[in-house]
Structure 1
Amino acid sequence: MDNYVISIYDNKKNDAGPKAKQDIDKFLTEKDFKIIKLKFDLNGSLVSKMKKIKYALWDIPRAFKNRRMDTIVLQYPLYSLVLMKQLIKNARKYSNAKLLFVIHDVESLRLFKNNAAYVAAEIELLNVADGLIVHNDKMLAWLKQHGVTTQMVSLQIFDYDNTQELQRSETFKKDVCFAGNLKKAKFLEKMTTQNEVDIYGPNPAKTYSNGLVYKGIYSPEELPKHLTQNFGLVWDGTALSACNGVYGEYMKFNNPHKASLYLSSGIPVIIWKQAALADFIEANGVGIALESLADLDHVLASISASEYKEMRQNAIKVGQKMRTGHFTKTAFSKFHF
């Protein structure tokens, strides 16, 4: 069969966003998919808008013409509705392929969740596909409830192509790491802890409380070798009592990519209990779910060395699966047409 992934890139360094798409590419090539890479300028400048005309009339049609295609995978969204519609239009015009979307974000659950017109338009767009890979069962249920009728498969968790050595130390020091865009992690500025929390990423605060240590910024590929802590923290928003704000609420439905960064490194995860991914973390014994970060010191103190050893071993097992694209490949194998 002739299977293709159409990948749109607007390259950024030290940003795990593009890495998630790059990893999908890599793992699908191991399933004999061919990659068609289209590099677009996706900023909002006038030049970018002019270039979109060329993309729509030349670059995109050329990607589909004179190819036999049985399956076409689009990584959704593109952050350009014009280009997304052009890709779908040309996929349908030049092939009879099954069209599958790998969902990276659903803006109806994030930036536009209170905009009924936007939600309706996004649901309509998703229904154009023959199948959707969605993050987890909670995202699947929300999409179904709001009108998605096309076939959907739950990814469970994002894979992560991690070439660094797995962290295998079972010594329980109760230390924690947090990696991400620190501009969105205002909760860290309110956090106090008896245990060390090491922080990585761009846009750090000028100061953090004792116990929180800023460790710098690294590329997604290099970062794992610096993560030697016992746990990786997945949290978002401004509050310690719960994940809040647009991105904190979004955790009730999405799979934060930083969880895959940690687990692919063999590091157990600490996550908000109401996060959709908390179900996976607890079911697989690869970390702990907290109602509030105020409970962190108490919970870490309650974990025995043997309990931590088991979490570490489970995290390594899941991490090894992630490094081979297990969750991506399994999800694609579940489609029935």
Structure 2
Amino acid sequence: MNNIIVSMYNKSQNEAGPKAKIDVENFLKIYGFKIQDFYFYGGRRAELVSYRQSLFDIPFRLKGRYENAIFQYPALNERTNKAIMRNLKKNSQKVYILIHDLESLRFKDSKNSCELELLNMADGVIAHNKKMIDWLREKGIKVPITNLEIFDYDNNIPLQENFIFDKSICYAGNLNKASFLKEYKPDFKLTLFGPNFSQSLMSKHIEYKGSLSPDELAKELLTQNFGLIWDGDSSKECSGIYGEYLKYNNPHKTSLYLSSGMPIIIWRKAALAEFVEKNKLGIVIDDLSQITPILDKMTQEDYQEIKANTIKIAHKLRSGFYTKKAVAELEVIDK
């Protein structure tokens, strides 16, 4: 088979930025996929460079004939998205889109309707979860859609299968976007990882351990009991643009946590809450104030059961199980 997977990365991001796309490439290259990457650097210059990429680089590098093509969506902007899709359609028998982010869903802006038109050009789409699939159907996506369920995560840090239950909790991510931290005062130890930390967030219960590479962060997570999935402006619920997006999106940090063997604490209305509940991977809450009462009732035995379930899922995520399953359902590779 002559298959290709096409991705575009922001080279100015830290290592964690493009990791989800790189992991997909690594999990699929064993099936003989040719990997074609394009790069850009953040800022105004990226927009100018995108003209050259769309007119010259993308058509040149996507020459050839392909049986199946997978486009890891999105690229830089509408221009590069269209250029990649146009050239793949011209040169491939089948073109599939694997969604990483949807601006039309995140911002619910009619100006992004061209994004939905692009999805309908594909022969099939891989979406994050059932809630995203339902939203895409409501918006008129007619092509076959496969449910990814959760992003896999290539994690080589040795797992610790037995761990003392000490009620430790961490949160990893861009701390600029975690607005809820500005008004939330935890009554338990909360360890923060990520860029854009502000000293105003410090309290006797909050510890900051810096912005780390994916491998360094995975090592640090081995000492934590739970990873927190929460977003938006409030500790009472996940609100605002990012909180609303959590209802449909699979945050990549969830896969980081689980692949490290760490159970999850997640908002009940988040799209991945169903996956966490079904597989018994942690705690589902409505409000951050519920964390302490729940953990106070949890025993070492209760935690070890959740931990054992998480280790099982960790092995799946590390092997690319969900990526391979989704691509197989599109009949691109054998099941």
Q: Determine if contact 2:7/2:73 at 8 Å carries over to the other structure.
A: no
Tell me the equivalent position of 2:29. Answer: 29
Write the distance in 1 (CA, Å) between the matches of 2:43 and 2:181.
Answer: 30
The alpha carbon displacement at 1:196 in A equals: 1.2
Deviation digits for residues 106-130 of structure 1, max 9, x if unmatched?
A: 111112x1x3343x32221110111
* TM-score (ref. length: structure 2): 0.94
Which ranges of structure 2 fall in alignment gaps of 5 or more residues?
A: none
Which segment drifts farther, 190-199 or 272-281? 190-199
Give the 3-state SS of the residue equivalent to 1:183 in structure 2: coil
Residues 10 and 17, structure 2, Cα contact 8 Å, conserved in 1: no
Q: CA deviation at 1:32?
A: 2.0
Question: Does residue 39 of the first structure (1) align with residue 32 of the second (2)?
Answer: no
Which consecutive unaligned segments of at least 5 residues does structure 1 have?
none
Question: How many corresponding residue pairs?
Answer: 330
Deviation at 1:105, TM superposition (A): 0.7
- Counting aligned pairs with the same residue, the percent is 43
Counterpart code for 1:32: G
Q: Equivalents in 1 of 2:135, 2:49: separation in Å?
A: 36
- Superposed counterparts of 1:48-197, under 5 Å: 48-65=46-63, 67-93=64-90, 95-111=91-107, 113=108, 115-118=109-112, 120-197=113-190
1:223 is the counterpart of 2:217? yes
* CA RMSD between the two structures: 1.6
Partner of 1:12: 12
State how far apart, in whole Å, the 2-side matches of 1:156 and 1:275 are: 13
Match of 1:319 in 2: 314
| Aligned counterpart, 2:267 | 272
Change in Cα spacing, 1:190 to 1:14, as seen in structure 2 (3 Å) is: same
Kept in 2: contact 1:12–1:18 (CA 8 A): no
Question: Counterparts of 2:123 and 2:43 in 1: how far apart (Å)?
Answer: 29
Query: CA separation in 2, counterparts of 1:167 and 1:261?
Result: 15
* Letter paired with 2:220: H
Q: CA deviation at 1:87?
A: 1.3
AA matched with 1:78: A
Partner Cα separation in structure 1 for residue 213 and residue 13 of structure 2: 7
Task: Give the stretch that moved more between structures: 19-28 or 159-168.
Answer: 159-168
**Superposed, which structure 2 residues align to 1:226-305 within 5 Å?**
226-227=220-221, 228-305=223-300
Aligned partners of 2:95 and 2:124 also within 8 Å: yes
